[in-house]
């Protein structure tokens, strides 16, 4: 691998060299490297492009890395990855796609990931998207993530897109069985004339199932963002949808959360806020020696990480005009 490859892998999967445990690295539509472990098997699909990842029951403390990188301008790839997680597992799955495009043609990756999570298993899934390159060819990513949680299973699903992706249409769907739990977190930054659309459907089918859906985004310049998060309650369950966005420049943001209750004991909540950075926040940081640009960046970084005081989840002091302070 060259320096471009290694940088992309670091950006999307924090990889420096081959990781320990199971991994599958895909480059320009082809298998680049693979390693199985004692409890995790990765195999190529025979009928279409993609892989099957099988994790044995009671597997705990292991990681799986499945990054994808594209460095050829004009390449378009569609990949199907299926995860079969046995019962009573506790694992981390790190995915993501990085595109380096120095050409004039569009580079695109569409990944369809389906998870079958066995009873009482815990999965932490992280997916990062990143784009770079000196060319004017578009960098496009259209991921789909479908999750089926059996009784008592849980998933923490985090998607991150911070830089360089010209257009993305993301779809996420989670179906929860009895006492299953889904925490879905999305962090997104767009700039220039980038476009991002995200649809999230969480269906609470089982009694005692619960979910928290959190979207945090920053829209800069002339970029456009559209969010459609929805939680559907079909049993005695609990769901909370939270969408917070910072808008800057001439950007446009639409946030359209929805809750659907089909059971009298479904407890569902949704909140949405769009606003600008309050000027006193920037001035406060500038008094500590930061420039205006540094202060603004610090605020944005903290907001996207979710550990700043701006737009905190569940903050009862939220103002009607939705300017964070």
Whole-structure pTM value: 0.89
Domain annotation covers residue 220: no
Non-local (6+) Cβ contacts of 47 within 8 A are none
Residue 243 has pLDDT above 50, yes or no: yes
Nearest alpha-carbon partner for 111 in 93, 123, 124: 93
Cα separation, 152 vs 180, whole angstroms: 4
Query: 74: alpha, beta or left, given left = phi > 0 and alpha = psi -120 to 50?
Result: left
Q: Determine, yes or no, domain membership for 119.
A: yes
| Average pLDDT over all residues of the chain | 90
In a domain? residue 32: yes
Is position 314 within any domain? no
Tokens of 108: 């695109």
CB count within 10 Å of CB 43 equals 12
What is the pLDDT confidence band of residue 321, given thresholds at 50, 70 and 90?
A: very low
pLDDT, position 325: 26
- Identify whether 54 is part of a domain: yes
Backbone angles phi, psi at 235, to 5 degrees: -160, -175
- Helix-helix angle 279-286:292-305, to 10 degrees: 120
| Structural domain count, the chain | 1
Per-residue pLDDT averaged across 168-177, rounded? 97
Using 50, 70 and 90 to split pLDDT, how confident is the model at 311?
A: very low
Distance CA 211, CA 270 (A): 12
Helix segments in the chain, DSSP class H: 3-13, 279-286, 292-305
> Residue 172 forms beta bridges with which residues?
145, 200
Residue 167's contacts (CB-CB under 8 Å, 6 or more residues apart) are 138, 140, 141, 194, 195, 196
- The reported pLDDT for the residue numbered 264 is 97
β-pairing verdict for 22-27 and 107-117: unpaired
**Within-domain flag for 207:** no
Q: Domain range spanning residue 50?
A: 1-138
Q: Is residue 278's pLDDT more than 80? A: no
125-134, 201-210, 279-288, 309-318: segment of lowest average pLDDT: 309-318
Which residues does residue 23 pair with via DSSP β-bridges, in sequence order?
35, 65
Q: Would 68 be classed as within a structural domain?
A: yes
120 in a domain, yes or no? yes
- Specify the pLDDT at position 307: 56
| Percent of the chain surpassing pLDDT 70 | 94
Query: Would you state the torsion angle of the CA atoms of residues 14, 159, 181, 37, taken in this order, to the nearest 10 degrees?
Result: -30
- Strands 22-27 and 30-35 turn out to be antiparallel
Q: Cβ–Cβ contacts within 10 Å for residue 30, how many?
A: 8
* CA 75/CA 107 separation, integer angstroms: 5
């Amino acid at each position: 691998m060259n320096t471009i490859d290694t940088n992309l892998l670091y950006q999307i999967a924090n990889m420096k060299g081959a990781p320990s445990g199971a991994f599958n690295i895909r480059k320009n539509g082809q298998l680049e490297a693979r390693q199985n472990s004692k409890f995790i098997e990765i195999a190529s699909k025979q009928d279409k492009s993609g892989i099957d990842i099988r994790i044995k029951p009671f597997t705990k403390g292991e990681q799986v890395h499945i990054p994808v990188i594209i460095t050829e301008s004009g390449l378009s790839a569609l990949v199907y990855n299926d995860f079969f997680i046995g019962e009573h597992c506790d694992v981390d799955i790190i995915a993501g796609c990085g595109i380096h495009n120095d050409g004039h043609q569009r580079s695109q990756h569409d990944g369809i990931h389906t998870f079958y999570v066995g009873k009482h298993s815990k999965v932490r899934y992280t997916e990062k998207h990143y784009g770079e390159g000196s060319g004017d060819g578009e960098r496009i990513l259209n991921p789909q993530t479908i999750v089926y949680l059996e009784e008592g299973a849980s998933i923490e699903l985090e998607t991150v897109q911070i830089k360089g992706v010209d257009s993305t249409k993301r779809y996420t769907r989670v179906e929860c069985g009895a006492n299953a739990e889904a925490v879905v977190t999305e962090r997104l930054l767009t700039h220039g004339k980038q476009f991002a659309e995200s649809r999230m459907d969480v269906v609470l089918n089982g009694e005692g199932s619960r979910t928290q859906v959190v979207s945090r985004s920053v829209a800069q310049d002339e970029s456009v963002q559209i969010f459609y998060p929805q939680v559907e309650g079909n049993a005695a369950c609990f769901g909370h949808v939270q969408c917070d966005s910072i808008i800057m420049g001439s950007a446009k943001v639409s946030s359209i959360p929805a809750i659907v209750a089909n059971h009298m004991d479904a407890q569902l909540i949704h909140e949405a806020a769009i606003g600008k950075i309050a000027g006193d926040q920037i001035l406060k940081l500038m008094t500590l020696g930061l420039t205006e640009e540094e202060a603004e960046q610090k605020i944005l970084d903290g907001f996207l990480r979710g550990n700043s005081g701006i737009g905190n989840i569940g903050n009862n002091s939220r103002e009607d005009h939705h300017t964070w302070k």
